[in-house]
């Protein structure tokens, strides 16, 4: 895992999607190793043919979107393919104005070039009763693409076939007895949805719930990060609420093996200048997920 050439560049909030024979990392980008607040001035796409060596493919700047100016709130992103085109959703988070919105760009390849699909947000601030950011795409078995987003409360909405409009209003997702890095009854931001073995897995960082229905409700199942299964440097240099906090990431399949990729701060020691890491994922017969191993070799092929 040490061979990854991307560590130390502030590439974080990883959503990895596999298109063809390459893995594509859609990420936010912490600006400076010296930052003392979240300072993210662009979004990036990287690609890899082996999950070890990564190439920077394209950079999306806020001035190239409806935002139209330099901006430091370029938060998490995700991408999906539909009808031969690629759609990349991004978070616009203005903490000073308390505005949170989701935008959308489109390209003919997984790496662009990118064009703002609407000239305005796809989902504007105030669309639901939670902050509108941290998008996640999910494609169900029938080919319908859904968008999930939110913090503390998560919402889901179907995308129209044109991928530039939504179908109906976003619906709140019910989670039974959730737990998160801040304790019982609380989730987090960083929502993600994937499907395995007939179950839908809704995750917020390292915590997850399952349902046999896309619509839910989802029952809390556990946390995939166990400090006892972490190499010391990963466990000891971590977030204020411990090593289960801050694990914004995504699940994906590569060569028939499932992985979880997530934020990591142990290399910089600065929660505002993060990297990403990845670990293998194994599912138990009852549908639960074994705690992942986080160490220097966990992500090796």
Whether residue 123 contacts residue 149, with contact meaning beta carbons closer than 8 Å, is answered with: yes
Q: How far apart are CA 104 and CA 84, in angstroms?
A: 16
Contacts of residue 161, Cβ cutoff 8 Å, sequence gap at least 6: 82, 83
Per-residue pLDDT for the chain (301 aa), expressed as one digit of tens each?
333 468 999 999 999 999 999 999 999 999 999 999 999 999 999 999 999 999 999 999 999 999 999 999 999 999 999 999 999 999 999 988 889 999 999 999 999 999 999 999 999 999 999 999 999 999 999 999 999 999 999 999 999 999 999 999 999 999 999 999 999 999 999 999 999 999 999 999 999 999 999 999 999 999 999 999 999 999 999 999 999 999 999 999 999 999 999 999 999 999 999 999 999 999 999 999 999 999 987 544 4
Contacts of residue 228, Cβ cutoff 8 Å, sequence gap at least 6: none
Domain residue limits, the chain:
11-281
| Residue 107 phi, psi dihedral angles, 5° rounding | -145, 165
pLDDT at 35: 96
pLDDT at 3: 37
pLDDT digits (tens, 9 = 90+) for 239-255: 999 999 999 999 999 99
Q: Which of 105, 96, 150 is nearest to 128 (CA)?
A: 150
Contacts of residue 203, Cβ cutoff 8 Å, sequence gap at least 6: 190, 191, 192, 193, 194, 209, 251
pLDDT at 298: 53
pLDDT at 244: 97
Chain Cα centroid distance, residue 20: 20
The CATH number that domain 11-281 falls under is 2.115.10.20
């Amino acid at each position: 895992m040490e061979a990854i050439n991307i560590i130390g560049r502030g590439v974080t909030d990883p959503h990895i999607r596999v298109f063809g024979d390459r893995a594509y990392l859609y990420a936010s980008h912490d600006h400076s190793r010296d930052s003392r607040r979240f300072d993210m001035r662009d979004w990036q796409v990287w690609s890899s043919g082996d999950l070890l060596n990564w190439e920077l493919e394209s950079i999306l700047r806020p001035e190239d979107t409806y935002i139209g100016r330099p901006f430091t709130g370029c938060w998490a992103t995700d991408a999906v393919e539909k009808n031969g085109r690629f759609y990349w959703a991004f978070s616009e988070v203005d903490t000073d104005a308390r505005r949170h919105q989701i935008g959308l760009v489109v390209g003919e390849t997984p790496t662009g070039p990118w064009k703002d699909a609407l000239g305005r947000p796809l989902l504007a601030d105030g669309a639901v009763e939670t902050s509108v950011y941290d998008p996640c795409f999910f494609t169900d078995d029938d080919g319908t693409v859904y968008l999930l987003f939110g913090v503390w409360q998560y919402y889901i909405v179907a995308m129209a076939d044109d991928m530039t409009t939504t179908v109906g209003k976003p619906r709140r997702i019910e989670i039974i007895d959730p737990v998160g890095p801040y304790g019982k009854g609380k989730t987090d931001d960083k929502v993600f949805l994937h499907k395995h073995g007939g179950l839908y897995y809704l995750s917020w960082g390292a915590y997850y719930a399952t349902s046999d229905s896309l619509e839910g409700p989802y029952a809390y199942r556990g946390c995939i990060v166990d400090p006892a299964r972490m190499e010391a440097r990963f466990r000891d240099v971590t977030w204020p609420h411990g090593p289960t906090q801050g694990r914004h990431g995504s699940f994906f399949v590569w060569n028939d093996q499932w992985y979880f990729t997530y934020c990591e701060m142990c290399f910089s020691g600065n929660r505002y200048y993060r990297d990403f890491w990845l670990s293998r994922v194994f599912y138990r017969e009852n549908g639960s997920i074994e705690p992942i191993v986080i160490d220097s070799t966990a992500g090796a092929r």
